[in-house]
Structure 1
Amino acid sequence: MEYALVTGADRGLGLGFVRQLLLKGFTVFAGRYASDWQGLSELKQQYGEQLHIIELNVAEDASVMEASRLVALHTDKLDIVINNAAILGDIEASVVDELDFDEMLNVFNVNTLGALRVSNAFAQLVLASGSKLIVNISSEAGSIEDSTRTSWFGYCMSKAALNMQSKLVYNRIKEGGGHVLVLHPGRVQTYMQGKLDADGDFTPDRSAIALIEMMERQLVEVKSGARPELMLLNPDGSQRPW
């Protein structure tokens, strides 16, 4: 049996990951932050004990540690951890406007440190598995070379920092056979701006399917003894500049 953990699983891409992993037979631990969304509850009715819903706020140390305790009650391994939870923050203010630095700190705390909290809390379970894979959902917004924006400070900087964090994590866990994937999910139809972004190129499930296929290809390479280079990847598997 294979086990996966998904953060930010209430809706959008996170819920898409949960649904697609369940279809593939994984036992999934879904980190729930917004309990007023019903998608996870509907999947729970369908999949029963194959899905475990856990309350998880990646911005809080205590919440992450309690989630790790609960997961360890059910399994001694996690094949895949998907750090998906993220917030957008202010995308309008530029350097000539009034900037809310506390808000930027909150975005950084969720998008960058939140992923690190989770990877830190679950690293031993990941390294105890056969797959040993941590997946960080980054963004083209974190690419310094490709950047053309004049705002989005919190989001862009937090995703660039997530990319560096991914490298630091990989440098350590590769000693135990672990690997990290850093993925740009495409422009997904999500609610990150407070309403559905219907102009997105990908539905959550379409993006999740493409990204899980990349995870599967990566695992085949790793299990064959290859050591794929860490890079920021698009949904089609092509590389983006850091």
Structure 2
Amino acid sequence: MVTGADRGVGLSLVKALLEQGYHVFAGQYLQENNEHLEQLKTVYDQQLQVLTLDISDGDSVQQAVEAIAACTDRVEILINNGAILGDMKMTVQDTLDFEEMEQVFRVNTLGSLRMSNGLIESILRSDSKLIVNISSEAGSIGTCWRNSWYAYCMSKAALNMQSQLIHNQISAQGGKVMVVHPGHVQTYMQGQLDTTGSLTADESAESIMQQIENRLKPDYGQEELTLIDYAGNTLPW
């Protein structure tokens, strides 16, 4: 299951999972037809199911969970990728938009928790038992250099804490959690393509898939949860 699959890293992760033979549920936020997902559906008709999904809305998440349950009782990998950016310019000395901040939290932090909460039993019934939370270096307190980006930075720091709490609960049951910074990606977080990124969405997704493959190896020895980047480097919490 991949959230935020309309475009960017989410869409690229869907493609990569399909190429590896997974049956993929793709959460599509935008209501209009998505030509990229439609093209994938023509090639991977039996493997791909597109779900309309707004992770900030509890009813929408419940409908997606029920749609998945109608197809299978297990989810090998949940990738919580869906996120929005919010204002990047305002500092504490400006007039901050708290309603916008609350919406960013509803998506970036509570959205992923809604998905993990709704699918946790299906995840734990699977072989992989893996939750992947796409976070950001912007959520790292240890490397924080910004004086703005309040909504995004704070929501991703909260996502990191959420990941640790889930890890504490499910690790004894064989459950696995990953927290991954996807890199500076050429994606649509600001509403239009950010061409300043050093990675394409496909490059980021390919590297994330490699980290997932490493995490699923039987000889993976790391017990402690860490924030890693797309290349596997550990970042400060």
Please report the TM-score for the alignment, with normalisation by the length of structure 1.
0.95
- Aligned AA (2:109): T
Letter in 1 for 2:93: V
Q: 1:225: Cα distance to partner?
A: 7.2
In structure 1, C-alpha distance between the alignment counterparts of 2:5 and 2:234, rounded to whole Å = 26
- Letter in structure 2 aligned against 1:153: Y
Alignment partner of 1:53: what SS?
strand
Q: How many angstroms apart in 2 are the aligned matches of 1:71 and 1:172? A: 23
**Aligned partners of 2:181, 2:25: CA distance in 1, in Å?**
22
Give the equivalent residue in structure 1 for 2:177. 180
Contiguous gaps of at least 5 residues in structure 2? none
| Aligned partner of residue 48 in structure 1, secondary structure | coil
Percent identity of paired positions between Structure 1 and Structure 2: 51
Check whether the contact 2:26–2:51 (CA below 8 A) recurs between aligned residues: yes
* Residue 239 in structure 1 maps to residue 216 in structure 2: no
Q: Match for residue 133 of structure 2?
A: 136
Which residue of structure 2 aligns with residue 104 of structure 1?
Answer: 101
Structure 1 residues 14-163: aligned runs within 5 Å: 14-36=10-32, 37-163=34-160
CA contact (8 A) 1:10 1:35 kept: no
Secondary structure at 1:81 match in 2 = strand
Superposed displacement of residue 173, structure 1:
1.0
2:207 matches 1:206: no
| Structure 1 unaligned blocks of 5 or more | none
The separation in 1 between residues aligned to 2:12 and 2:223, in whole angstroms, is: 26
Amino acid across the alignment from 1:75? T
- Residues 93 and 152 in structure 1, CA contact (< 8 A), matched pair in contact too: yes
Q: RMSD across aligned C-alpha pairs, in angstroms?
A: 1.0
Q: Deviations over 1:121-164 (max 9, x none)?
A: 00001000000000000000000111111110000000000000
Deviation (angstroms), 1:226 = 3.7
- Partner Cα separation in structure 2 for residue 201 and residue 122 of structure 1: 33
CA contact (8 A) 2:108 2:159 kept: yes
Aligned position for 1:215: 212
